[in-house]
Structure 1
């Protein structure tokens, strides 16, 4: 699916293979419409009982193993994702469950489900990655997490960074930026900070950003508005709290959007105090548009920042005071950082989805 993160990366690989003329079998709960229409793609749909991933995972694993064995017997190659399917082939890891435990939220049943799901995913992940012939990680951080969580030798893990859409996510002219802001109803005179991430739990660090924004908005000199892109179980609660705390006009919740590239081209900074991100495609895409991005130093994408942009990195995602200082630094040093952000943008945009897919296929053919 083209919904961002790992789904967007998987779509890019499958689409590149199909366009190169390879027959592609996709074993999944759902796939993007563009793949369903492609004559080289065969979709093996796996049911998801009660629309629950935890109930669908055993089915996905069983069906995936069966098709993997058949595909290898026919001389094909197999790429699994994480703990979805324990097969002796290549495994492309987008997230390491053994590296992060989300704090339980919601009612008792929801918290119990979260704990059971996490144990299941950690166990499945360890089994699948130990069996894989080669593991493809989306960052050095992910490689280190895989080794620490599963005990597989580092020699079996290859790092291939995520690609991107260099045309969709690119710097725009000042005139184009003004036009986009006008179409969105954003005043030209007020800077905009953007948060892009799920609001289902605390992993993306919105709670830290919210507290930092309360402190900044208490000051008369903080003339920056925050736009929040994302949905999740906690979105309505955050919107109510913003209104209750008197910052409802300074924090706007936009929900799920399919025009993130447009929003990035109109914003002034992205803020991502994430507690865990194997990579961080939202930050990558912001940088590709030439937007400075504040992100936790522990996120995989942070390892691509040059020393000149270390002032954009957050050492502790729970540290509200530090985030306030970093946002103040951004206001003060944005102009000085701009050429370094532009250089990083150019570097990241050179790695397209197609070049990423080619690197993965080369690795799979040699080692998978």
Structure 2
């Protein structure tokens, strides 16, 4: 079978891009020929004999809104030319105006627009107005793309419910396939903290994500940390353009909150930390939670993160309200008060994560592609 993947990125180090990479690797292993329409492609796939890369460049366009449209138009034109040579088409959300066989949804703009946490509901500014326009346009384009897709894949049950209730997609058209985790990179290991300039005696919580976005909710973490003076916080993420370093200083946390910037040694940092805190206001899945669990970290997360569907009370503390700083304070205090409890929770978290390998996820995608391709062939034969 010749399968075409249409997506912005196919590469490790990017959540959606990593999913694409693993599914393509599985398809190659099964003997399929692959066409990839993308702006970025992993080096090891560029010269693979089973892969043909059709690059759509979006360099030079000033906003993501424009870049997405340039990509969608470019991919549509390519698909028009290639359609007769392709048996099956896989896309991510709205990336083309053409029809597809499978649409993998990693973010639901319809649900984000309806969320009380959308920036435009929290404050009125030029930036939040742009976010409103961006989300509203993407909502319309996503709805258009899903109507032109045979099968929808949701990365969590949360996303499936959002697609049903906010996007009007029939549940019979939706399959849930959760993201995987790299178990060769993220696993429990002993790390000498001194090599990372960390103290052996200190309790370290960890937070990782886009700290320029209020959606990730670092502000509530900082407020909660004020009330737990024996805990330090490791923050991973670009600090340029972020207001949180200043907020940490204003709250008197300068000596206990360590902004580490972007890091490539996430697995080592997770192994050196004691717990992972991530009360995101809206997260369709949150791969970073699964990575933390695989590294053996107990997790404090909000119910608004799709990945919490995999967790239980022995591995994580799930908050109903991501903005409840008092509940978050109590959760951090509870975890930090007992090292043995932290160890036991981390062991349970790692055990859960071991069943969620990338290979496991990719096989689910392959089986679904084969099933839906067979139905497509039967339908074509009947007509």
Q: TM-score, normalised to structure 1's length?
A: 0.89
CA distance in 1, matches of 2:352, 2:82: 36
Deviation string, structure 1 residues 231-250 (Cα, Å, up to 9, x no partner)? 26542x32133234332111
1:44 aligns with 2:54: yes
Q: Answer with 44-53 or 95-104: which moved more.
A: 44-53
CA distance in 2, matches of 1:334, 1:138: 33
Q: Look up the match of 1:219.
A: none
Q: Which runs of 5+ in 2 are unaligned?
A: 1-10, 374-383
CA distance in 1, matches of 2:285, 2:306: 4
Task: Give the one of 119, 132, 153 matched to 1:103.
Answer: 119
Q: Is the 8 A contact 1:71 1:78 kept in 2?
A: no
Q: TM-score, normalised to structure 2's length?
A: 0.86
CA distance in 2, matches of 1:212, 1:71: 54
Task: Give the one of 335, 340, 343 matched to 1:335.
Answer: 340
SS class of match (1:83):
coil
1:305 aligns with 2:311: yes
Deviation string, structure 1 residues 48-69 (Cα, Å, up to 9, x no partner)? 2424221022222223234445
Q: Look up the match of 1:31.
A: 41
- CA drift at 1:337: 6.0
Task: Give the one of 226, 236, 252 matched to 2:233.
Answer: 226
Q: Is the 8 A contact 2:315 2:348 kept in 1?
A: no
Task: Give the one of 124, 128, 141 matched to 2:141.
Answer: 124
CA distance in 2, matches of 1:308, 1:292: 9
Q: Is the 8 A contact 1:308 1:337 kept in 2?
A: no
- CA drift at 1:9: 1.5
Q: Is the 8 A contact 2:26 2:366 kept in 1?
A: no
CA distance in 2, matches of 1:309, 1:201: 27
1:156 aligns with 2:162: no
Q: Look up the match of 2:197.
A: 185
Q: Which runs of 5+ in 1 are unaligned?
A: 217-221
Task: Give the one of 316, 320, 324 matched to 1:315.
Answer: 320
Question: Quick one: higher RCO (CA 8 Å, sep 6+), 1 or 2?
Answer: 1
Larger strand share, 1 or 2: 2
Q: Is the 8 A contact 2:311 2:352 kept in 1?
A: no
Q: Look up the match of 2:96.
A: 85
CA distance in 1, matches of 2:239, 2:17: 17
Q: Is the 8 A contact 1:92 1:137 kept in 2?
A: yes
Q: Look up the match of 1:345.
A: 350
Deviation string, structure 1 residues 86-122 (Cα, Å, up to 9, x no partner)? 4231001111111114305999543332222111111
Task: Give the one of 126, 131, 135 matched to 1:114.
Answer: 131
Q: Is the 8 A contact 1:25 1:41 kept in 2?
A: yes
SS class of match (1:170):
coil
SS class of match (2:127):
helix
Quickly say closer, same or farther: Cα 1:337–1:213, change in 2 above 3 A: closer
Quickly say closer, same or farther: Cα 1:106–1:50, change in 2 above 3 A: farther
1:14 aligns with 2:29: no
Task: Give the one of 193, 198, 205 matched to 2:217.
Answer: 205
Q: Is the 8 A contact 1:166 1:350 kept in 2?
A: no
SS class of match (1:111):
helix
